[in-house]
Amino acid sequence: MSACAATFAVSLPREEPTGETALERERQLNQFLAGVEKRALRIAEIGVRDRDEALDLVQDAMIRLARAYASRPADEWTPLFYRILHNGVRDWHRRQKVRRRVMAWFGRSADGAGDYDPIEAAADPAGRTPEDELETGEAMRQLEVAIGGLPARQREAFMLRTFEGLDVAGTALAMGCSEGSVKTHYSRAVHTLREQLGEHWE
Amino acid sequence: MNESPESERFTEQAKRVFDDSVDRLDAAALSRLNRSRQRALAELGTAGAAHGQWLRWVPATGVAAAVALATVMMMNARPPDVAQEPVSESDFEMLLDDGDELEMLEDLEFYSWLDLAGPTAGDNVG
């Protein structure tokens, strides 16, 4: 008998979740995503200032969570989901930076394109109509602008702690840093935002 | 984390403003979120099934690999190399062909002395 030919199927009990368990897990994940998706969209939108891009990022985070972490305990899903989402936001900013460089290079070499400003030419930052802007309110607009001016880590810490309500440990897991770093970033973010918005908010 | 009352008021107001903007999300955004969620849940089933299929072959592959390894080891098995002294034919003749080989074995010490002492050693014996 050839040693290499010794391949045969063995029928062993599969350790897959039963149909009932799989359905329960799907129900839990659906409930989790439904509960977090709207806040996640707004957080991503503040991060990238573009609703369509934010929707893509949230969808990507949902899919990645389902693929890779659905079997993890449900109480770990929130920090894991936001970790994926924030990684997506960071990658998006890196891609934008490269794109701006490329566009600037071509802009200088093209006739009449030297004055092209991609920021000025871009659509409304959040993809909203003027009516939406009015609805959202001036306070939120000011807050978004102020948050947008924060360093990325401070912005993440502030939004996760304040908007999503994660505790320090959960925020640290979502940001992939120590709890001490979270406290520092968060404290600095609040201080800066209060300085900028204080006269309007207090 | 200890915050000053002013900071707490500020963050509470920021949360209220943020929650208000969440509540004002338009129908198109909500619809898109719903589709994204369904797509993610569909991936959950696909990923689970693919993962399960892969896992299903793990025991079979493991058993096959173990059998293959055992077979290869058996086919290549050899007795251990033990250094052996060359055996002369006279040794066997001495032990097997002679009728009184057992007596000779009992007097092995004597024959050893006889061999070392030379041809004249046994002249005085007996």
CATH of the domain at A171: 1.10.10.10
What band does B116 get if pLDDT is binned at 50, 70 and 90?
Answer: confident
CB contact under 8 A, A190 and B13: no
Q: How far is CA B108 from the centre of its chain?
A: 52
State the pLDDT at residue A161: 96
Domain count, chain A: 1
Residues of B in contact with A35 (CB under 8 A): none
Distance from C-alpha of A43 to C-alpha of A38, rounded to nearest angstrom: 9
Report the pLDDT value the prediction gives residue B55, as an integer from 0 to 100.
60
Euclidean distance between the first and the last CA atom of chain A, given in angstroms as a whole number? 85
Alpha carbon A79 to its chain's center: 11
**How far is it, in rounded angstroms, from Cα B80 to Cα B99?**
35
The ipTM estimated for the assembled molecules is 0.74
Query: Which of B10, B33, B41 has its CB closest to that of A194?
Result: B10
The pLDDT of residue A106 is 75
What is the C-alpha to C-alpha distance for residues A148 and A197, in angstroms, rounded to an integer?
Answer: 13
Is residue A50 in a domain?
no
Distance from CA of B33 to the nearest CA of A (A): 7
Residue of A nearest to B67 (CA): A6
Split at pLDDT 50, 70, 90, the class of B110 is: low
A51, A66, A186 member nearest B40 (Cβ): A66
How far is B54 from chain A, CA to nearest CA, in Å? 11
Question: Residue written as tokens 């001016």?
Answer: A149
The alpha-carbon gap from B80 to the nearest alpha carbon of chain A, in Å, equals 23
Chain B residue with minimum CA distance to A26? B41
The residue in chain A having the minimum alpha-carbon distance to the alpha carbon of residue B30 is A38
Taking an 8 Å cut-off on Cβ atoms, the answer to whether A137 and B17 are in contact is: yes
Show the domain range for A170: 137-202
Instruction: Count other Cβ atoms within 10 Å, centred on residue A181.
Output: 16
Q: Which of B21, B26, B36 has the CB atom closest to A140's CB atom?
A: B21
Cβ contact A162–B45 (<8 Å):
no
Pairwise CA distance, residues A176 & B91, whole Å: 81
Letter string b/e over residues A123-141, b meaning 16 or more CB atoms within 10 A of that residue's CB: eebbbbeeebeeebeebbb
Q: For A123-130, which contacts have Cβ atoms below 8 Å and span 24 or more sequence positions?
A: A123/A50, A125/A49, A125/A50, A126/A45, A126/A49, A126/A50, A126/A51, A127/A50, A127/A51, A127/A52, A128/A51
Is residue A64 a contact partner of residue A153, using CB atoms and an 8 Å limit? no
State the DSSP H helix or E strand holding residue B70, giving kind and residue range, or none if neither: helix B27-75
Q: How far apart are CA A53 and CA A96, in angstroms?
A: 11
Which of the residues in chain A have pLDDT under 50? Answer: 1-15, 109-121
- Residue with more model confidence, B109 or A176: A176
A175 domain residue, yes or no: yes
Where exactly are the structural domains of chain B? Answer: 5-75, 89-119
User: In chain B, what percentage of residues exceed pLDDT 70?
Assistant: 51
Q: How far apart are CA A139 and CA A141, in angstroms?
A: 5
Give B15's pLDDT tier (boundaries 50, 70, 90).
Answer: very high
3-class SS at B64?
Answer: helix
CA distance linking residue A180 with residue A175, whole number of Å: 12
Asked whether residue A173 is domain-assigned, the answer is yes
Q: What is the pLDDT of residues B42-77, one digit of tens each?
A: 987 665 555 555 566 677 778 888 888 888 888 776
pLDDT at A16: 53
- Mean of the per-residue pLDDT values of chain B: 74
